A and B are shown apart, each in its own frame.
Chain A
Amino acid sequence: MTTIMPFGNTHNNFKLNYKVEDEFPDLSKHNNHMAKILTKELYGKIRDRQTPSGYTLDDVIQTGVDNPGHPFIMTVGCVAGDEESYEVFKELLDPVISDRHGGYKPSDKHKTDLNFENLKGGDDLDPNYVLSSRVRTGRSIKGFTLPPHNSRGERRAIEKLSVEALTSLDGEFKGKYYPLKSMTDAEQEQLISDHFLFDKPVSPLLTCAGMARDWPDGRGIMHNDNKTFLVWVNEEDHLRVISMQPGGNMREVFKRFCVGLQKIEEIFKKHNHGFMWNEHLGYILTCPSNLGTGLRGGVHVKLPKLSTHAKFDEILTRLRLQKRGTGGVDTASVGGVFDISNADRLGSSEVAQVQLVVDGVKLMVEMEKKLEKGEAIDSMIPAQK
């Protein structure tokens, strides 16, 4: 199904009257994946294309033009406006995906595995060290355009469909939807203290891509009564699905995650709006960095000694893990407590990625215990996974 968004379809045609060199952005001071790939020749070759809903090359790259990036952090610098963006602008997006996802080729196939029983262990992470466990992913609903591009009417339709689906869940998933624009002050307070409430994006990476338009219209949060399963509607993706709980039982968290996702997907399929997925890119999301599983599985873990060890970053790299502060991406760790999660998204399955987290965190906790006793950990340092 293709939809035409109510924007000026003639605008891109108008731009084509200008020469390529006059329209090509100045990327000389830029350091993001888009800027490394997009030459003037490539720009000239694909700038006359539009997806069926009218998304253009300039739309795809605007966020990367406006945010040159940081010398040390390599951002993606481009977004998709709809499922077709990944096809229509493949000359740009395939190399970006390859750079971002470890050389992933256009001919590669991505494996999806949401069978939680395939996970080995994960129920015995030491709760003296592992304070909380969490798995998140995103899902896009087929037939709708994505947050950078959708109109108010479409965003509301996505919300309506999502609310129908989510409020029909039962058992441990039974819960309530709180629309951002009409929640009461008391509800808002509660969601803030539960650390569930998401804010209007302030990061220019998102705002320059148009994802905060019309805020808070069509946005909201659903969570189950137990507060262990949470869905964000119309933030950076159509749906962000989160399973979490205190302590180290990642196995339980992952089980709930898989079961919940599959139940939600069934309901959407009944409405003829399954999730966007294909066998090359896996689950299709707004940011190319989240393709594949879109999964970030992680823990908050106390590693005060290991984190100051000279080989800490190398250990993480070898385990295919990344660290963040407990406030999220780009925050610093407080009191030696780190957010440790999988670094990969595309090219390996959900089970494989969560397995890396479970095995890697278990190893690091053992290393921490050794360091507490004053013992060396060199023999424990793993080979590159």
Chain B
Amino acid sequence: MASNFSRILSSKQRIGVLTFVGGSVTAGFLLHRQHVGAAAPVRRSYPASADYPDLRKHNNCMASSLTPAIYAKLCDKATPNGYTLDLAIQTGVDNPGHPFIKTVGMVAGDEESYEVFSDLLDPIIKERHNGYDPSTMKHPTDLDASKIHSGNFDPRYVLSSRVRTGRSIRGLSLPPACTRAERREVERVVVDALAGLHGDLDGKYYSLTQMTDGEQQQLIDDHFLFDKPVSPLLTCAGMARDWPDARGIWHNNEKTFLVWVNEEDHTRVISMEKGGNMKRVFERFCKGLLEVERLIQERGWEFMWNERLGYVLTCPSNLGTGLRAGVHVKLPLLSKDPRLSKILDNLRLQKRGTGGVDTAAVGGVFDISNLDRLGLSEVQLVQTVVDGVNYLIECEKRLEKGQDIKVPPPPLKQFK
């Protein structure tokens, strides 16, 4: 794993240089983190077998992969800033899962978690991402939106289009583990960079601790405001600590590009608009992301990224692209067709209600988005959504005319 850490070390050396120019709080400290890769041992007073969790009633990816042997091997290891296996798996121990929904059951506290706990995270990643093997495979990143074709949907069917992802700032711990100072540093770095956006991306930051009542109401009306997490999947992982300190929302004046700061990830980036112009949504998405990346690099920072995992985020389910591209689409006839699930499966799409994950569809309007995150690039995933949604609209049109529809062939097996 030396190659990943050399990338970290080189960025920190850059940060070290920039400190003299007037860098930030943590830059000087980060020079001292040379011992990455040598995880500090944890002293235990109970043997691993006494601390091994009871996972017999659990149904999540962590429970499927965490054997007593793996627990014993990893339980006395910690990342350089002291994040341990017990901390990483706590959310999965506390939330046994649902018989029908298989949650991941584990988070990363920092970039190094994915290395130090790879004996557990690699099989979890493989299970969650259709056989993608982080120890042997490479993840492609492609943010060239010009490659998308046929990405402008019939607005009689597609009501809105949206693309979201997350980005983490390298060198700072992730939401489950970050200290208050680190979280505030993430906010400073990101807000500083966003202030450098211009033109159609010109916008403003609203800190959760300082927004006025008027601003809060406006953000609620725009459906932009995020709340303190209530899901125990997140709270048991420690992501709601110190709320609402250093949390906030940035959006452009046109309200088509939105960044959440310090919610479940360092940043969540969202591009959206009404109607079916997914290509334009993705163009803005890519432009905004690349511009923000350039702005943080000017200041000596970079995003967490590596060849085997792509963009590194808190939840292993969001590795790779971290991308969910979707539409709200009216498919009243197709929604009643028993073949819909199979069609979606074969198109590598998932449906949700328009209230988000776990809500039901209302009036035949679905949220349709990509299933995959890792092992395929952003362009590939968005094109998959574009092709799939066009296919679904064709089906709906055929059903309107009383014609029959076909279930598309399943895709070729990706990674097995």
Considering only residues 5-44 of chain A, those with a C-beta below 8 Å from chain B are: 5-15, 17-19, 22-26
Which residue of A has the minimal Cβ distance to B51? A153
Task: Report if A154 contacts B (CB, 8 A).
Answer: yes
A151 in contact with B86 (CB, 8 Å): yes
Interface residues of A in 277-308 (CB under 8 A from B): none
With A6-B84, A10-B40, A213-B90: A65-B29 Cβ-Cβ less than 8 Å = no
Would you call B42 and A9 a contact (CB within 8 A)? yes
Chain B residues with CB under 8 Å of A23's CB are 179-181
Contact A8 B43 (CB under 8 A): no
- Residues of A bordering B, CB below 8 Å: 3-15, 17-19, 22-26, 58, 62, 65-66, 151-154, 156-157, 181, 207-208, 212-215, 217
Chain A to chain B: the 5 pairs with minimum beta-carbon distance, closest first: A8-B82, A11-B82, A153-B46, A153-B50, A18-B181
A8 touches B241 (CB 8 A): no
Asked if B241 and A3 make an inter-chain contact with CB atoms under 8 angstroms apart, the answer reads no
Q: How far, in angstroms, from A154 to B86 measured CA to CA in the complex?
A: 14
User: Residue among A26, A62, A154 with the most chain B CB within 10 A?
Assistant: A26
Docked Cα-Cα span, A153 to B49, in Å, equals: 8
Are A6 and B51 in touch, CB under 8 angstroms? yes
- Could you tell me if A18 and B182 are in contact, using CB atoms closer than 8 angstroms? yes
A contact residues around B236 at 8 Å (CB): 213
B25 x A18 contact (CB < 8 A): yes
B242 x A213 contact (CB < 8 A)? no
Q: Which residue of A lies closest to B84 (CB)?
A: A8
Assess the B94–A212 pair: CB atoms within 8 A. yes
Chain B residues with Cβ below 8 Å from A24 are 180
Asked if A8 and B45 sit within 8 Å, CB to CB, the answer is: no
Q: Cβ of B53 and Cβ of A214 under 8 Å apart?
A: yes
B interface, over-half SS: loop
Alpha-carbon distance A153/B242, docked complex (angstroms): 28
Q: How far is the CA of A213 from the CA of B243 in the complex (A)?
A: 20
- B32: interface (CB < 8 Å): yes
Given A10-B40, A10-B82, A213-B94, A62 and B241 contact (CB-CB distance below 8 Å) = yes
A5 touches B179 (CB 8 A): no
Beta-carbon contact of A7 and B42 below 8 Å: yes
Q: Is there a chain A Cβ closer than 8 Å to B87's Cβ?
A: yes
Instruction: Decide yes or no: A26 and B42 within 8 Å by CB, A8-B81, A11-B81, A19-B181 being known contacts.
Output: no
Q: Which of A14, A65, A215 contacts B241 (CB 8 A)?
A: A65
A4 contacts B45, CB within 8 Å?
Answer: yes
Cβ contacts under 8 Å, B75 to chain A:
6
Return chain B residues, CB-CB under 8 Å to A9: 40, 42-43, 82
Contact with A along B74-105 (1 / 0, CB 8 A): 01101111111011001001100000000000
Q: Does B11 contact A (CB under 8 A)?
A: no
Residues of B within 8 A of A6 (CB): 42-46, 51, 75-76, 84, 86
Q: Is B268 an interface residue (CB 8 A)?
A: no
Q: Is B269 an interface residue (CB 8 A)?
A: no
Which of A7, A8, A22, A152 makes the CB contact (< 8 A) with B53?
A152
The answer to whether B245 has its CB under 8 Å from any CB of chain A is yes
B181 CB contact (under 8 Å) in A4, A7, A22, A181? A22
